[in-house]
Structure 1
Amino acid sequence: MRALVLVFVISALTLTCSAKQFPAGFKFGAATAAYQVEGAWNVSDKTPSIWDIYTHDKPHKILDGSNGDIACDSYHLWETDIQLAKDLGLHFYRFSLSWTRLLPNGFANKISEDGVRYYNNLIDGLLANGIEPMVTLFHWDLPQNLQDLGGMTNPLVAEWFGDYSRVAYTLFGDRVQTWSTFNEPVIICDAAYETGDLAPGIVSPGIGNYICAKNLMVAHATAYRIYDEEFRAKFNGKVGIVNNHVWYAPYSSEHEDLTFLARQLGFLYSHPIYSESGGWPPSIESFIAEKSEKEGYVTSRLPGFTSEEIEFIKGTADYYGINYYTSRLVLAARANSTLTWPTNGQVDLQVELVPDASWTAGVEWLVSNPPGLRAQLNLIKEQFGDWEIIITENGFSTASDELDDVTRTQYYKDHLEQVLLAITEDDVNVTGYTAWSLIDNFEWNSGYTSRFGIVRVDFSDPLRSRTPRASAHYYADVIKHHSL
């Protein structure tokens, strides 16, 4: 029998009414991302991102052959989205800026008046309705003309990203208090370069992903330092990074050491920032260096940091952003095993990541294991100390666009309960929770076949009509009563 070693034994007793209450000041929000909802891909002076080019040139890579050209048309329907957020009672709305909508050349020499107007309208509209804007600078949609220069594998990307961040802080920093630099580096670098199945569509496992990883860390720190030195005294906001975490548990007792490595690799983009020592996780840095040497490389395939870079990156966050969806059991890769999401680590560690049969399955990769969220929150605290943690994404996808979404509603209920237990029983400093997503959207390789929205979008309707699901009503009730 497979053994799933969990960190906790959850009490079977029903929580009392008082125990179901979230702490005062805890905030609830919902999220979207620019490419997935905005549409208007070539409106005004906006230029293509890597996802515009990827979906146009390789429609066969998208399950339904679709793209984000129109998506939810949030570029034109931003007022509708704000009304949805208001009706839900959201404390904040997390969205991302489109780099190419704001800076058509990718560089800071040209700022789009229409792009500025759009984001000003959205930010001001949210604030007018008592909703805080939480802004992500980069949610995967790199300008294509920067990709043509090497993109995330060009060290100059740190300078480009720093210039872009400075423009955003200058334009919107007087009203935006919470920023994140990159959303899910593990997707930007590892999932993209290990498989080529995501934009920019370049296959470079074990090489490109690690070059990307180092450059991204320096780029993040550059954007943080710019805010810290040029804007913090004036605006007093927060800047962080958002990491996607999967809870890893050993398939059996013989896989505990391998599970430790998988967890450490999961902290590849956290350790340089949040640890006291900085730099890559030591166990991972050693593992890849030794493997690279055996393979005949002169230096490690994972580029090292200089002592100056370690200090430059260390501590560059005001909070810890975590996206959590699912869990996996870790075992040594068996013959003929294939790469499946999450791909991070499977190339170098030679691990196979499989779901437990008892977990509830959603669309494709998403299986529900609520205790995994609590376990991961505790692991972050154990690893890095008592950082403020914001859950920046959590949600469930289905293939159906039904309004009575019982499974999704249960997913939210179960995961929110685990968040509350982490706060009240484990003393983890979680201050916010973000539902992914506010509305159905273009879900990357799944196109429109995967529905994450607590609000349904009718993509057959030219007006992209929106209808709240049962999960939206449930979430609104939690927010209204600040309680489960």
Structure 2
Amino acid sequence: MYHLFLHSQLDYRRDIMFTAVLVLMSVSGINGWTDTKVRRFRDNFLFGAATSAYQVEGGWDVDDKGENIWDRFLHEHPGVVADGRNGDVACDSYHKYQRDVEMLRELGVDHYRFSISWSRILPTGFSNEINEKGLEYYDNLIDELLKYDIKPMITLFHFDLPQTLQDLGGWANPLSVEWFEDYARVVFEKFGAKVKYWITINQPNSICVDGYGGIEFAPAVGSSGVGDYLCIKNVLLAHAKAYRLYEEEYKAKYKGSVGISLSVNWADSYDNKTENIESTDLYREFTIGLYMNPIWSKEGDFPAVVKKRVLQRSLEQGYRKSRLPEFSSDEIILLKGSADFLGANHYTTTLVKKAEKRFPSPSIDDDMGVELSQRSEWKTSQSSWLRSAPYGLYKMSIHINKVYDYPPVFITEHGWSTMRGLKDSSRVKILRDYFNALLFAIEDGTDVKGYTAWSLMDNIEWTAGSSERFGLYEVNFDSKEKTRKARLSALVYKRIIEERIVEENWKPDNLNISITKRKKYVKVEL
């Protein structure tokens, strides 16, 4: 069933109301029509939770682990962390992984998305020196998950490049494509028989635009408009090389699936002015199309409008050619179709209008020429950038269906930040609102295989430290044991997993949580 109010030319005022519409449609009349349908997640829909290595593991220099760019960046610039807490110890999951798995059992999830620290298993970054102690840690974690029928979903790279490779240029160096392929081979060889779900790289935009274009995210290169574009090309090629490696040497044997996790937040026009609608379309191509087009579009390559825009601005700035590097014909072929699923990291929605000011040049901001905002009535989180707009998840889903022909999707991250405290009612509301939006997206054809909550527990949120809490479980970072306690949201999530529906008014009797026998569901085939 297609919801007709979304398939006409909506003005922005209707978007304001869409969050409420998604929640109210099942219980109230809209334009004389009452929908009392109870929407349900199918039995083979996979629910999970996520973390990443630097953010939870700790043990930054134990058992022969090598230094990574976040170790170096936060040690040399401790002042950039909001509360001064870095990932040296974090949640100490390196020693407490069994408690982490126990929490997953309490929730009743189907899968656990975690990342491997490249420098923990390859201390120099290169595959000639393999750290067996690092491999043993991940082997133990995987076995603990499989013991309880929890599927490992491994991310090969989640922001923490070995510092030795960064010293050679990192992702701006074309050789990084080979370095990543070699690293992927080590991991596939070791864990391919046990792991069926793989994510090559998490959020290329954060790696490249923030890390190589900016100065507040490791490795803080500060080469906006040049280094970030070099990084984007190499990261996408590295993904494709790892995908083809698995496809050619491991897929027939192990029958796993390999995807990539991209940031797919939604963007809407600030108003109905033509210039702002056009600016919004351009912004989407720079933030979604730049990463999805090479893999999922029929033509491949970077979006034509992005190539045209960067070339035009580059020539105006005195460059002899575009600052956006080109893909060769062979590279376009390599990238096209190089994913079994899209890992969608979705958090929020922004409003876009044509910029009335000029940005520093060269830069991606200057290439886009847009200004961003969010509606004041959208609920705010502990993070300045994160506001609740559940309708954006629906509209993002419809967009990728239309533009990229219904790719299989895992929601690989979605979450909400709060302050400390176990009674996180705001996270509960956001969880329910976004699940309602997701159910509408599934009903309207989006091929969503599963959902992964960010995050299993409070962790080190990069330069925010522990000042922004995303966990279903609260972590006491001041305690020696790094004690984890279930929040209200953990019990609500557990209930949704068990019942497969969103119950707006359900409340637990208390915050006690225990392990229950997990139901068996039909295996997902991608």
Query: Which TM-score bucket, shorter chain as reference?
Result: over 0.9
Structure 1: gaps of 5 or more residues:
none
Is 1:230 the equivalent of 2:249?
A: yes
CA–CA separation in structure 2 for the residues paired with 1:330 and 1:4: 14
Deviations along 1:168-213, one digit per CA (max 9) or x if unpaired, are 0010010110101110000000122222110001101100000001
Give the CA deviation at 1:345: 4.7
What corresponds to 1:52 in structure 2?
71
The answer to whether structure 1 residue 437 and structure 2 residue 455 are counterparts is: yes
Check conservation: 1:397, 1:451, Cα contact below 8 A.
yes
Question: How much is the aligned-residue C-alpha RMSD, in angstroms?
Answer: 1.8
Q: Which amino acid aligns with 2:327?
A: F
**Structure number with bigger Rg:** 2
Identity %: 43
d(CA) in 1 for partners of 2:84, 2:102: 31
2:286 paired residue among 237, 247, 265:
265
Counterpart of 1:381 in structure 2: which amino acid?
Answer: N
Distance apart, 1:4 and its partner CA = 4.9
Match status 1:477 vs 2:499: no
| Distance verdict in 2 for CA 1:106–1:120, change over 3 Å | same
Question: Could you give the per-residue CA deviations for residues 255-302 of structure 1, whole angstroms, max 9, x where no partner exists?
Answer: 000000011112211110011110001111111111111111111000
| Equivalences for residues 162-201 of structure 1 within 5 A | 162-201=181-220
Residue in structure 2 matched with residue 14 of structure 1 by the alignment: 26
- Matched with 1:105 is 124
In 1, the alpha carbon distance for the partners of 2:360 and 2:440 equals 36
CA deviations on 1:115-162 (whole Å, 9 max, x unpaired) are 111000100100101100000000000000000000000000000000
Using the size of structure 1 for normalisation, the TM-score is 0.96
Q: 1:331 to 1:18 in 2, by over 3 A?
A: closer
The question of 1:384 aligning with 2:404 is answered yes
Per-residue deviation, 1:6: 3.6
- Aligned equivalent of 2:3: none
* Selected match of 2:345 from 323, 337, 341: 323
Distance of 1:40 and 1:18 partners within structure 2: 50
Give the alignment of 1:272-291 within 5 angstroms. 272-291=294-313
Verify the 8 A CA contact 1:322 1:390 in the aligned structure 2.
Answer: yes
Q: 1:4 to 1:187 in 2, by over 3 A?
A: farther
Q: Report deviation, 1:387.
A: 1.1
Which amino acid in the other structure matches residue 456 of structure 2?
A: L
Distance 1:122 1:444 in 2: 23
2:352 matches 1:352: no
User: What does residue 32 of structure 1 align with?
Assistant: 51
Q: 1:294 to 1:365 in 2, by over 3 A?
A: same
Displacement after TM superposition at 1:333 (Å): 2.4
Q: What CA deviation, in whole Å up to 9, does each residue of 1:366-391 have, x standing for no partner? A: 11101101110111111100211110
1:457 aligns with 2:475: yes
Distance 1:109 1:259 in 2: 47
Question: Please, which moves more after superposition, 11-20 or 169-178?
Answer: 11-20
User: 3-state DSSP class of the match of 2:212?
Assistant: helix
Contact 1:205 1:347 in 2 (8 A): no
Superimposed CA distance per residue, residues 60-83 of structure 1 (whole angstroms, 9 cap, x where no aligned partner)? 111122210000000000000000
> Cα 1:56–1:381, aligned 2, differ >3 Å: closer, same or farther?
same
Amino acid at match of 1:223: A
C-alpha spacing 1:6/1:282, structure 2 compared with 1 (3 Å) = farther
Correspondence list, 1:19-418, <5 A: 19-254=38-273, 255-266=276-287, 267-335=289-357, 345-362=364-381, 363-398=383-418, 400-418=419-437
Deviation at 1:17, TM superposition (A): 7.7
Shift in CA distance, 329/4, structure 1 to aligned 2, threshold 3 Å: farther
> AA paired with 2:300?
G
> CA shift at 1:5, angstroms?
6.2
In structure 2, the gaps of 5 or more residues are 1-10, 28-34, 503-526
Q: Which amino acid aligns with 2:492?
A: Y
1:450 is displaced (CA, Å) by 0.5
Question: In the comparison of the two structures, how many residue pairs are matched?
Answer: 477
In 2, Cα distance between equivalents of 1:17 and 1:454: 30
Paired position in structure 1 for 2:465 = 447
Residues 293 and 7 of structure 1, relative CA distance in 2, 3 Å threshold: farther
Q: Deviation string for 1:238-259 (max 9, x for gaps)?
A: 1111001221001112200000
The separation in 2 between residues aligned to 1:430 and 1:261, in whole angstroms, is 26
Secondary structure of the structure 2 residue equivalent to 1:195: coil
C-alpha contact 1:5 1:250 (8 A) present in aligned 2: no
- What CA distance in whole angstroms lies between the structure 1 residues aligned with 2:222 and 2:143? 41
Cα separation, partners in 2 of 1:311 and 1:338, compared to 1, 3 Å: closer
Residues 423-450 of structure 1: CA deviation (Å, up to 9, x unaligned): 11x1111110010000000000101101
The one-letter amino acid of 2:309's match is: F
Partner Cα distance (2:365, 2:372) in 1: 8
Shift in Å, 1:361: 0.7
Could you tell me how far apart the structure 1 residues matched to 2:303 and 2:142 are?
A: 38
Distance 1:409-1:345 versus aligned 2 partners, 3 A rule: farther
Name the CA shift for 1:379/1:238 in 2 (closer, same or farther; >3 Å): same
Q: SS in structure 2 opposite 1:20?
A: coil
Cα distance change on mapping 1:453 and 1:17 into 2, 3 Å? farther
Q: What letter corresponds to residue 263 of structure 1 in structure 2?
A: R
